[in-house]
């Protein structure tokens, strides 16, 4: 497995990567809103940006703590046979 494949696998399975993605989306969104409002990006309100971005990372963190959530860690992609429908598909 190449280094790129290992990074892609980590990026897909990691709750930290998911939280970082959420954080980045909020920061970029707030920067664009600031640009539209002022015509430039003013970093004077960086505390507001940080608080909003950290709040957005709560959902991925809670999902990672939920043992029934199969998007992260060892259970990534695992389909419990009891969850499958009559034809074997979920």
Model pLDDT, residue 9: 82
Tell me the pLDDT tens digit for each residue of 39-89: 888 888 788 888 888 888 888 888 878 877 777 655 555 555 555 555 555
Tell me the pLDDT tens digit for each residue of 21-30: 888 888 888 8
Model pLDDT, residue 77: 57
Q: Give 13-49 as a DSSP string.
A: H-HHHHHHHHHHHHHHHHHHHHHHHHSS--GGGHHHH
Model pLDDT, residue 73: 58
């Amino acid at each position: 497995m190449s280094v790129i494949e290992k990074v892609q696998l980590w990026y897909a399975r990691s709750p930290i990567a998911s939280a970082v993605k959420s954080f980045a989306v909020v920061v970029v969104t707030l920067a664009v809103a600031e640009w539209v409002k002022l015509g430039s990006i003013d970093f004077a309100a960086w505390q507001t940006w940080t608080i909003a971005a950290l709040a957005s990372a709560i959902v991925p963190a809670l999902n990672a703590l939920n043992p029934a959530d199969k998007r992260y860690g060892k259970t990534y992609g695992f389909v419990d046979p009891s969850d499958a429908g009559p034809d074997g598909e979920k």
